[in-house]
Chains A and B, each alone.
Chain A
Amino acid sequence: MNSRTVEIWVGVFVALGIAALFMLAMQASNLASISRGDGYILTAGFENVGGLKVRSPVTVSGVRVGRVEAINYDYNTFEAVVSLRINDDHDGFPEDTSASIYTSGLLGEQYVALEPGGSLENLTDGDRVQLTQSALVMEQIIGQFLYSVSADKDEE
């Protein structure tokens, strides 16, 4: 085989390989959503974060606007502090925005849902979301249910 054919085939091979890497990076991963600026950070304190994990989605009305950056425990307030990284093109949440931890589907992963309030002032980088609602823990719900059932029986 002459060297021209070899070179062409090697060129095809390398181009295919690079195209595959490019496809994996652009099409299959979250590169496209990261590259739109690094976003800004909001924090929120929760009594219980349940099964929330780093990289869990942050949504507003079901639209994904960011992800969970870090989850820490604050020994001053005795609650979990969740840092949310919000994409730059979703700035302008009112100051009285509330954050709740919900579960998508019955067995799905947990996510943070933001609900905008009515304030005229906006949250900016590093601000803390004041109104929060913790994750629902199955044991607590069952516990409350059993408690209310037994309370009903006592009344009878």
Chain B
Amino acid sequence: MLDSLQALGRATLHFFERLGRGHLFLAQTLTKLPGLLLRPGLVLVQLYSVGVLTLVITLVSGLFVGMVLGLQGYNTLVDFGAEESLGVLVALSLVRELGPVVAALLFAGRAGSALTAEIGLMKATEQLSGMEMMAVDPVQRVIAPRFLAAFLSMPLLAAIFSAIGIYGGYLVGVSVLGVDDGAFWGQMQGTVDLRDDIYNGVIKSIVFGFVAGWIALFEGYDATPTAEGVSRATTRTVVHTALAVLGLDFVLTAVMFGD
């Protein structure tokens, strides 16, 4: 009885301790961001490994998600004689929800896990301690540029995902299934609002980029410095990012569209 109570207490304390470490880590990273203005080259290299290398999977997934939306939407809408609204359906689902969310999940799988493994391995091989020995701040030199790169890449990736998805829906809907070209774009332009839909989607993707970068880097920085520890941290990154993104998406949607 006492033992199980103790286990519960330890787990709770452990959870809050980790939560606190995570926030301290975030605060430390954020204070180091202005220093990056002196070394923009560091961010550039990370933009390549975080953003550019995620580009291909984003493009391909976006295209296919858009094509599936076009196909499924057409099959449902045609029953009501409303297949002209296909453009609205594809654009709204992509811009509001699927663009930011799916791009963030892909980002967690492709870039987040790589970031965690990289930082975790740096820690396991004592490269981070080595930097501290040389009076180089590892948060400044290693963590901050990666965080900024993740934060900057995510909105761009989400926008690319949505745009290519709309073209995927257009490809299937207009070129294959024969929805009217003008109605597809016209109804989309008539219904999709710049502020209500597109800005809110961009805000979502910025929040997701922040969270995905934070989780990935913290898991790597906080990993047990062993092979097993790094592998577990990598798994945790993907799982926690996915949960955080989906949970936050609900909260953001409720705030933005819930009136």
* A contacts, CB < 8 Å to B: 3, 6-7, 9-10, 12-14, 16-21, 23-25, 27-34, 55, 57, 64, 105, 107-108
Contacts and interface: CB of A to CB of B under 8 A. Distances in A.
A23 B159 CA distance: 9
B192 A13 contact: no
Given A20-B162, A29-B194, A6 B45 contact: yes
A15 to B, nearest CB: 10
Nearest to A67: B190
Q: Which of A14, A28, A30, A108 has the most CB of B within 10 A?
A: A28
Nearest to B51: A13
Contacts of A57: 190
Contacts of B52: 9-10, 12-13
B51 A28 contact: no
B245 interface: no
B156 A23 contact: no
Size band of the B side of the interface?
20 to 34
Given A6-B48, A10-B51, A13-B52, 13 more contacts: A9-B48, A10-B48, A20-B159, A20-B162, A21-B159, A23-B163, A24-B95, A28-B95, A28-B163, A28-B198, A29-B197, A30-B192, A32-B189
23 contacts: A3-B45, A6-B48, A10-B47, A13-B52, A17-B155, A17-B156, A17-B159, A18-B156, A19-B163, A20-B163, A21-B155, A21-B163, A24-B198, A28-B95, A28-B163, A28-B166, A28-B192, A29-B193, A30-B189, A30-B194, A32-B189, A105-B81, A108-B82
B16 to A, nearest CB: 38
Contacts of B45: 3, 6
Interface of B: 41, 44-45, 47-48, 51-52, 55, 80-82, 91, 95, 153, 155-157, 159-160, 162-164, 166, 185, 188-194, 197-198, 202
Contacts of B193: 29-30, 55
A28 B156 contact: no
A105 B82 contact: yes
Contacts of B155: 17, 21
Nearest to B164: A20
A75 B188 CA distance: 37
B44 to A, nearest CB: 6
Contacts of A14: 47, 156
A10 B47 CA distance: 6
A20 B188 contact: no
A94 B240 CA distance: 62
Contact of A16 (B47, B156, B194): B156
A20 to B, nearest CB: 4
Contacts of A16: 55, 156, 160
A25 B48 contact: no
A92 to B, nearest CB: 23
Contacts of A55: 193
